[in-house]
Amino acid sequence: MDYRWPVGSRIGMRLRHDSATAALVVDGSPTDQSHVQFDGAGERALTTLLRQSCARAPGEVESVAWELSELLVPPEHAERVAALRIVPRPPVSDALREHPSPMLRTLVGQRATVRGGHDLFGMELAPVDLDAAARAARAAADAGFAALAVTAAGSAGSPDHERAVAERVLDAVPWLRLCLSHEVGGLGLLQREAATVLTAALQPRATDLVGRCERITAAGVRRGVAWFASGDGGRVSAERLRSFPVTGLEAGNAVGLLGAAMVSSTATASVVLAAGDRFAAGQVRDGLPHAASDVMELGGMRLATPQAVLSPVSAPAVGEPTIVAAVNETDAAAARRFRAGLGSAATLVDPGTDVVAVGCTATEPTAWLDLVVSADTPAELRRVRTMMEDRTCTLLASGGARPGTERVVSSAVVPLSFLRSGSYRVVIRASGRLGGQA
Amino acid sequence: MNRTPSTQALTVDALVHYGPLANTRALIDDHFDQLVPHVSLVSELDQIRSCAPHTAVVLHQSLTHGVWAVESAMRLAWERAAACVVTPALPGIGESTAHLAQRLRTPVFVVDGDSAQCALDLAAAITNPDALRAKLLARCAVLFSERSGARAILGVINTEVPGVSAALVSGDGQVLAGRSTVARSGAGSRQVRVEVPGPDGQPWASLVAEVAGAGPLLDTVRTILRLACVPLAAAVTQQRLELVHNSARAGAALDVLLTDGSRRVAYSRDAPDDVASELGWQVDGRHIGVFLRVATSEAGPDVETLTPGVVSAWQREFGDRPLVPRSGGWASWWPAESRAAGDVSGELGLGLVRMRSPVGLVAGIGEPAEQLAGLRESLAQAELASAAAQGSTAGHVELFAELGERLVLACLPVAELARSAEVALADLLAASDHRTLVTTLAAVLDHGGSTGQAAAQLGVHRNTVLGRLERIRAHGIDVDRPDRRLALHLAAYALATRAP
Amino acid sequence: MNGDARVPEIGPDDVDALVAGSEFFGASIAGSSVENFRTWTREVLERRGPVPLVEPGELDADTPCAAVGIAGSMTAIVELPPAGDEPATVLTALQNQLGRAVGAVMPMNAATINALFPVLAAAELGLPVVDCDGMGRILPLINQTSYALAGLPLTPLTATSAVRDLVSIDASAPRAELLIRAMLNTAGGWMLCALYPTEARNLVTAAIPGSMSRVVRVGRLLTGATDHDGIVLGLRETANATVLGSGRVVELGPSGKRGAPTQPANPTTVVVREERADSRLIRLEAQNELLLAVIDGVLATAVPDLLCLLDRNSLRMKGLERVGLGDEVDVLAVPAAPVWHSPAGLELAGPAAFGLPVRHPKERDG
């Protein structure tokens, strides 16, 4: 069955440093777009913009989805935090003690390593040193850091050490804000640490932004609920973005893919986004961007956060029919050039259309699970996989999807190389509907 | 060595329908027509290289290390012209494997259980095809007894008997039911033909079956066709009797409807509405009258004789639309809620051409009209319009609304007029080019004596028309005398209209 | 570009090329994040200075040599990174075990991070790296090497983990493999090993020559080239790589039954469908590594020849664990070192060694 874009009236709000764009989409058709310049503090201008869009809707506006990725870009909007790594043995090499990403090194103002950690399957490799953890936390607090990012080896297999550390640290330094890597999720110690540090570093900024968006939405739209676009092309609640601001990173590209598909009246397409002098190709399938759980790269650092897959393309290559869209008004000429190089295989989205704002309205709640599991027989693997799919759907329901609308978008099982037979990495992605349609 | 399969061998299709492959999952539904004289259970890929052509290659459990091995086996099987490949179920056998099977034109079947058992069952079925055949015959016999109607019976043969397409074909080669492709028998297939007796006991149609490939089931198919003959003949007789009876009843009923209320004395016990509803006719609301006639105006079989053939062809084309025999043709009426006479004309004309009627038909169409009284009017218009259509090619439709005063001409007894014209203009008609001269005469009179306009209509130079007029005059015809002009015009019209 | 140019030493500036080239020869795990290995290797080379690359024949024939390499899972090492002293620890432990100093380090296999560990070990101990390796690619078992093929003993072997477990093994090559494999499950998923202690003279015949140089050359190509055709052409020159086909990944998942008990991990299959009119199906059969390429049911290439996937969009190599449905890839084949095509080589690392009942195309031709 062909995918149908959400029914009813939705508004997408793309917020940038000095301007905002509101797109009104009714039953999957963009019907209105307004733009306003503002000084960055003017909530009133945004409320008016939202009210005007709302007035043009044929019925009640179901939701407003905000896209904030430009305002969440680290490190400029992030505060410096302390990091605590839990591994069986402290690294002897500076290169291994630090995080390889320069950007992350600037965000981590103080770092400590304590003993502990599990293997991928949740077996304890070393007992956790809670006293050392408490000392590190106190030192961080003493140095003036408000947040501590805690990342333990194997916490995807067992969160026990992170939880134990959290308990002890909160006893010792109750005012310290803690971010635990198993709550952020994902495989790979450094990738998870990066996501966890960013989460801690962006939380104050996100809390401020999300609060403003909520106030504006409440003032501008009757019974309006504010949602936020996420990097995988889904939408998350205000509460979720406040707690896990990394989910909102890179959301602009993901929803840009969706918006380009939507204005081209298709739910499955190849899309090329033009931004600056770069072009990136992505895929939209059944109303969702093709995404992966661990491709996000930010300043040369890989994050364990689901993100739409965008591959850089340098020159037009004759291939399948492609939609070319500009991310910003200033990219229109580049998009037109790229489209011309593709010939009849490509269509160009009207550069006047803000595909990011439009794409926000196409987002729906999504959920991911990325774990290593053990299964000795195919039947056992099937059972584990079904269980994980159910778990993902439960996550989805708590993420705001209407019960009964959940669908498993992809469920990939990859046997792990060079581990014992019967180890698999299972990555599940599910999507649901905010509204009533299935 | 390329052994030719025995004609007794079964096809893949037969094994799927009645044999051990029934319990397997087929990756593709094509290329089932191959004969399967051999079965081979292989536990190493290399063994496939020595399989005889047309073998059913069954992969042993031990061979299926991965889908790649199944696909390698498929490829080797294809190289050996195998009839099909049977593989144990394996995670990963999916769309891509099916895609390859399609490209190799080799059916692949997936068994959930033990493939070795499947190989044994296949071998048993192949060495003793009679058991399968008996099963097939029994199944057909049971289904024939449960079906009535020619189409349903043909359907049983076409769906149940693997590799066989069957049709019921009339004496003149028309397909009455079943697969129309059968009539155009292709090379490489064998035909089995059995006569089906009509209601009078005479051969009425043939049941023709085309058996794909070398005809492994030829005898079985013949037996099945014979089994089908009796219920077919009964079904056909029943249909024809019902048709004749229903037509007579419908004719009487339409008489009631079309009689003006004030004059309806003899039928006073039948109210028109009761009559209509009893036959399931819809006469309320807006309708368009339609009248069919035999295309040619020459004498031929009468309406009564033609009615069963025409009505059954009509029903196949137009379904439940009424068609009632009248003295000069057949009346029908179509609901006209949302359409004009022109729309009906298009659909009707197309249908008339497609209809497998025993004679060519033309039609007239009345104006849309309300209620019963309007329908009477519309049908009368249609009947008149159909008279104007007569003489045209089959499928021609005349609209009453477009006829105008030509209607009067439509009512002329053209055949009789033509006969008297032959006498009156005998001299002219004796001329070797009398057709040209009559046509020219009619054209000049049609244009009120203007030779210029007549020349334009005929597509010749005016001098030519003048020359022809001279020759007409030479045959003693004076075109210019007003007191003779009407008679002359009618004679020329009748001669020109009558089919040459 | 000279296809056989020798690389004399590996310094901090060669690390990027070394990492990129090593990814190419480790098809299954290409694309895993090894940023910390890159910074670590660079840091060690900056601190300790460049490591000379020497040919076996250039060393004194009696020079004691030992191979260094990791056994285990990339996913595990990404979750549990090394502490940094493992290379020195494991090599020192082997020296203690042998009772003599090692004069040069050779790679067990110059692919993925196993191309980095011998450099790290050699740098920490101030030794040269022998420009050779034992696999020319990744093979799943530590006894699937040209060293073993030439009869060099695999043990004494020493191994250490991120938890700083330290073990030594004295056993036959197949037994050593089984013992290490059993320990991995407790050690955190990976162990760094020092193994195949031997003398330089034996490496002249027992090693696959020039492997490290080849890795760096391929790496320079991959980091330098910007267009697809340039990469494909360059790979043909430097690594003798050919494109078997190009298309889109249409199927991905477990294949068939459980793997042979001696092989870690389970079989998986990747199906690439060409987007040409005849849309050939390229089925890649994998267990840890890509083992077979079957095109429309015909075996095109088999282990020990190297199969790998080049992402046509990002122009990066795509590992088995990272390949996704819909990816547009080139399927590349690189012929194995000649020693692997010998009857003994094929017996040790040919399809049959992976429990695959097919003959390698070379066997069939022969």
Give the residue from C67, C53, C41 showing the smallest Cα distance to C120: C41
Please say whether the beta carbons of C167 and C183 come within 8 A. Answer: yes
How many CB pairs (< 8 A) connect B and C? 81
Measured on CA atoms in the order A257, A262, A264, A270, is the torsion positive or negative?
positive
Q: CA-to-CA distance for A97 and B53, rounded, in angstroms?
A: 67
Answer yes or no: do A120 and C79 touch at CB < 8 A.
Answer: yes
Residues 6+ apart with CB under 8 A from B463: none
Scanning every residue of chain C, which has its alpha carbon at the shortest distance from the alpha carbon of B101? C296
Q: CA-to-CA distance for B100 and B86, rounded, in angstroms?
A: 14
CATH number at residue C87: 3.40.1610.10
Where does chain B hold its CATH 3.30.450.40 domain(s)?
Answer: 130-238
DSSP-assigned letter for residue A43:
H
Please give, one letter per residue, the 3-state secondary structure of C219-264: HHHHHHCCCHHHHHHHHHHHHCCEEEEEEEEEEEEECCCCCCCCCC
**pLDDT by residue (tens digit) across A22-31?**
999 998 889 8
Average confidence (pLDDT) over A2-19: 89
Average confidence (pLDDT) over A390-419: 82
Instruction: Tell me how far CA of residue B228 lies from CA of B138, B209, B219, in angstroms.
Output: 12, 12, 14
Please list the pLDDT of chain B residue by residue as tens digits (500 residues): 444 445 567 888 888 877 788 888 899 988 888 888 889 999 888 889 999 999 999 999 887 778 888 999 999 999 999 999 999 988 778 888 998 998 899 999 999 888 888 888 888 888 877 777 787 788 888 888 888 777 888 888 887 777 678 888 877 677 777 777 765 555 556 788 888 876 666 777 888 888 765 455 677 788 888 888 878 777 777 776 777 777 777 777 777 777 765 444 444 455 666 666 666 677 777 888 899 988 877 767 788 778 878 887 888 788 778 888 888 889 888 887 767 777 788 888 888 888 877 788 899 988 888 888 888 888 888 888 888 888 778 888 888 888 777 777 767 777 778 888 888 888 888 888 888 888 888 888 888 888 888 888 888 888 888 888 888 888 888 877 888 888 888 888 888 776 44
Give yes or no for B89 touching C (CB within 8 A). Answer: no
Best residue in C274, C279, C280, C283 for a mutation probing chain B (most B CBs within 10 Å): C283
Residues 6+ apart with CB under 8 A from C236: C242
State both tokens at C92.
């020192």
Q: Which pLDDT score, from 0 to 100, does residue A256 have?
A: 94
Helices and strands (H and E) in chain A: how many:
12, 23
Scanning every residue of chain A, which has its alpha carbon at the shortest distance from the alpha carbon of C83? A91
Q: CA-to-CA distance for B229 and A187, rounded, in angstroms?
A: 72
In a domain, C228, yes or no: no
Other CB atoms within 10 Å distance of the CB of residue C21: 29
Same domain? C163 vs C88: yes
**pLDDT by residue (tens digit) across C72-114?**
888 899 999 999 999 999 999 999 999 999 999 999 999 989 9
Same domain? C123 vs C183: yes
Q: CA-to-CA distance for B146 and A180, rounded, in angstroms?
A: 72
Answer yes or no: do C185 and A422 touch at CB < 8 A.
Answer: no
From B58's Cα to the closest Cα of chain C, the distance in A is 16
- Homologous superfamily (CATH) of B282-411 is Reverse transcriptase/Diguanylate cyclase domain (3.30.70.270)
Q: Which CATH number fits domain B130-238: 2.170.190.11, 3.40.50.720, 3.40.630.30, 3.30.450.40?
A: 3.30.450.40
Domain encompassing residue C39: 9-211
Where does chain B hold its CATH 3.30.70.270 domain(s)?
Answer: 282-411
Same domain? C254 vs C199: no
CATH 3.30.300 given to domain B414-497:
no
State both tokens at B220.
């079985």
Least confident of A118-127, A348-357, B181-190, B489-498: B181-190
The amino acid present at A412, given as its one-letter code, is A
Please say whether the beta carbons of A316 and A341 come within 8 A. Answer: yes
Q: Residue C356 CA to chain centroid, in angstroms?
A: 21
Same domain? C289 vs C153: no
Measured on CA atoms in the order B291, B296, B298, B302, is the torsion positive or negative?
negative
Please say whether the beta carbons of B228 and B144 come within 8 A. Answer: yes
The dotted CATH code for B10-127 is 3.40.1390.20
Q: Which of residues B11 and C188 earns the better pLDDT score? A: C188
Answer yes or no: do A417 and C226 touch at CB < 8 A.
Answer: no
Best residue in C15, C28, C33 for a mutation probing chain A (most A CBs within 10 Å): C33
Cβ-based interface (< 8 Å): residues of C facing B: 250-251, 253-257, 267, 269, 271, 273, 279, 281, 283, 285, 292, 294, 296-299, 355-358
Please give, one letter per residue, the 3-state secondary structure of C26-94: CHHHCCCCCHHHHHHHHHHHHHHCCEEEECHHHCCCCCEEEEEEEEECHHHHHHCCCCCCHHHHHHHHH
Answer yes or no: do A95 and C261 touch at CB < 8 A.
Answer: no
> pLDDT-derived band of residue C1, with 50, 70 and 90 as boundaries?
very low
Where does chain B hold its CATH 1.10.10 domain(s)?
Answer: 414-497
DSSP-assigned letter for residue A101:
-
Answer yes or no: do C254 and B91 touch at CB < 8 A.
Answer: yes
Asked if the peptide bond before residue A316 counts as cis, ω within 30 degrees of 0, the response is: no
Average confidence (pLDDT) over A230-254: 92
Best residue in C23, C74, C80, C308 for a mutation probing chain A (most A CBs within 10 Å): C80
Map residue C361 onto helix, strand or coil.
helix
Q: CA-to-CA distance for B134 and B126, rounded, in angstroms?
A: 14
Answer yes or no: do B65 and C292 touch at CB < 8 A.
Answer: no
Residues from chain A that touch C266, judged by Cβ atoms under 8 A, are 415, 421-422, 424
**pLDDT by residue (tens digit) across A147-161?**
999 999 999 889 999
Of B66, B73, B104, the CB nearest to C285: B66
State both tokens at B157.
């043969």
Q: A touches which chains (3+ CB pairs under 8 A)?
A: C
Answer yes or no: do C44 and A417 touch at CB < 8 A.
Answer: no
State both tokens at C29.
């795990």
- Domains of chain A, by residue range, sit at 75-207+225-363, 366-431
Same domain? C24 vs C140: yes
pLDDT of A35 strictly over 60: yes
Instruction: Tell me how far CA of residue A276 lies from CA of A13, A227, A256, A327, C204, in angstroms.
Output: 22, 28, 14, 9, 54
Asked if the peptide bond before residue C209 counts as cis, ω within 30 degrees of 0, the response is: no
In a domain, C351, yes or no: yes
Q: Report phi then psi at A113, rounded to 5.
A: -125, 130
Please give, one letter per residue, the 3-state secondary structure of chain B: CCCCCCCCCEEHHHHHHHCHHHHCEECCCCCCCCEECEEEEECCHHHHCCCCCCEEEEECHHHCCCHHHHHHHHHHHHHCCCCEEEEECCCCCCHHHHHHHHHHCCCEEEECCCHHHHHHHHHHHHHCHHHHHHHHHHHHHHHHHHCCCHHHHHHHHHHHCCCEEEEEEECCCCEEEECHHHHCCCCCCEEEEEEEECCCCCEEEEEEEEECCCCCCHHHHHHHHHHHHHHHHHHHHHHHHHHHHHHHHHHHHHHHHHCCHHHCCCCCCCCHHHHHHHCCCCCCCEEEEEEEEECCCCCCCCHHHHHHHHHHHHHHHHCCCCCEECCCCEEEEEECCCCCHHHHHHHHHHHHHHCCCCCCEEEEECCCEEHHHHHHHHHHHHHHHHHHHCCCCCCCEEEHHHHCCHHHHHHCCHHHHHHHHHHHCHHHHCCCCHHHHHHHHHHHHHCCCCHHHHHHHHCCCHHHHHHHHHHHHHCCCCCCCHHHHHHHHHHHHHHHHCCC
